[in-house]
Each structure stands twice: as structure tokens, then as C-alpha cells.
């Protein structure tokens, strides 16, 4: 019971940090990355399909993303999906490729993106704290059921707190990296 609770708490906290890092990949910085268009869904024959399943995405230059669809007939749908997305970039197409030329971010845009990242990081911290609360409740329940001793219960809560600190540190680290990336000119 003790190990089950601890493993469950650690797993959920790791997922919260991984989700944050995944969300950060979709936020634009001064450089082009394939992750920017990963979240774009294209209406392909009536089904919303992730762009990366329809095309190869490459970054030949620091501010250019090139999308080469497997099916050239899907170019119009890909262009529409990119225009609808929150990237704020107009796609250019030559019939075979879609090019996204990313203009440099202004100082104001950088600050807004950094603030958005802070909000996302705080949401991840709240999620981690909720997992801690649930873990502590499970520990109290196991103690009440007699599945663990009082000493084990206290030790379990200490370990849950240590995991909380560790994963909040991971959130802070990811936020620091992303903020630095955004503020780089």
C-alpha cells in the first residue's frame, strides 16, 4: 500500500511536469521549431488530423518552417488550419511546400509570452499540489484502515512532500529555460 501510494503520486507529478514541457513546445520563441505546429489540426477529409501526420516538418533556417505534405492535395487545408491557429503567421505555398516565415517578436510580445508561460507553470504547480493533497488523503486512509503504521504514515507524507518539492523545482527549471528562450533576441 505504501509503495503504491508513493508510485502513484510520483507518476502523476511527473505527468504534470511533462505536460507543461509539452505545452511550452507550442509557444513561439525567437526561433522556429517543429513543435510550434505540432498542435495544429488540419481538417483532412472531414476529420481533424494532426499536421505531423500529414506532412514532414523541417526547420532549414532559424526563422523558417517548411511543411511538405505527403498528399499535395491537402495544401489548401493545411494553409487554412495554420491561419486559424494562434501562431499569427501567414503561410506561403508554391503548390508543393508550405513555408512559414516567422517574423521577429517585439519586446511587448516577448513579455506577454513570458507572462503566459508563468501562468502555465503556476497551473502545473497547482496540479502537483493537488496530487500531494490526494496522496496525503490516501496515506490517511491507509493509516485509518490499518494498512500502514503511524510511523509509515508520517514517513510517507514526508516522502510525498519531498516529491512535491522536487517536481515544483522541475516546473521552475522548465519555466526558466522557456523564459530565457523567449527573451533571447
Delimit the domains of the chain by residue range: 2-25+106-183, 34-101
Q: Given this model, what pLDDT does residue 135 score? A: 94
Write out the three cell numbers for 173: 527549471
CATH number of this structure's domain 2-25+106-183, picked from the four choices 1.10.132.20, 3.40.50.300, 2.60.40.10, 3.40.50.980: 1.10.132.20
Backbone angles phi, psi at 66, to 5 degrees: -115, 130
119-149 pLDDT, tens per residue? 999 999 999 999 999 999 999 999 999 889 9
Beta strands in 53-151 (DSSP E): 55-61, 64-69, 92-93, 98-101
In order of 56, 63, 68, 99, 122, the CA distances from 48 in angstroms are 17, 27, 18, 21, 30
Q: Given this model, what pLDDT does residue 185 score? A: 62
Classify domain 34-101 by CATH architecture.
2-Layer Sandwich (3.30)
Q: Given this model, what pLDDT does residue 25 score? A: 83
pTM: 0.78
Write out the three cell numbers for 131: 496530487
Q: Given this model, what pLDDT does residue 160 score? A: 95
Which residues in the chain land under pLDDT 50? Answer: none
Other beta carbons within 10 Å of 143: 18
Amino acid at each position: 500500500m505504501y509503495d503504491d501510494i508513493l508510485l502513484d503520486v510520483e507518476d502523476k507529478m511527473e505527468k504534470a511536469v511533462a505536460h507543461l514541457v509539452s505545452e511550452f513546445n507550442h509557444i513561439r520563441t525567437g526561433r522556429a521549431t517543429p513543435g510550434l505546429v505540432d498542435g495544429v489540426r488540419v481538417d483532412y477529409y472531414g476529420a481533424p488530423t494532426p499536421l505531423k501526420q500529414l506532412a514532414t516538418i523541417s526547420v532549414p533556417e532559424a526563422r523558417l518552417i517548411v511543411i511538405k505534405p505527403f498528399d499535395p492535395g491537402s495544401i489548401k487545408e493545411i494553409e487554412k488550419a495554420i491561419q486559424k491557429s494562434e501562431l499569427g503567421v501567414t503561410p506561403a505555398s508554391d503548390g508543393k511546400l508550405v513555408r512559414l516565415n516567422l517574423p521577429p517578436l517585439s519586446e511587448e510580445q516577448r513579455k506577454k509570452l513570458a507572462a503566459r508561460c508563468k501562468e502555465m507553470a503556476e497551473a502545473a504547480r497547482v496540479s502537483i499540489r493537488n496530487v500531494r493533497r490526494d496522496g496525503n488523503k490516501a496515506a490517511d486512509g491507509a493509516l485509518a484502515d490499518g494498512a500502514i503504521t503511524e510511523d509509515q504514515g508520517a514517513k510517507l507524507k514526508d516522502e510525498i512532500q519531498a516529491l512535491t518539492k522536487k517536481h515544483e523545482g522541475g516546473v521552475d527549471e522548465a519555466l526558466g529555460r522557456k523564459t530565457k528562450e523567449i527573451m533571447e533576441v
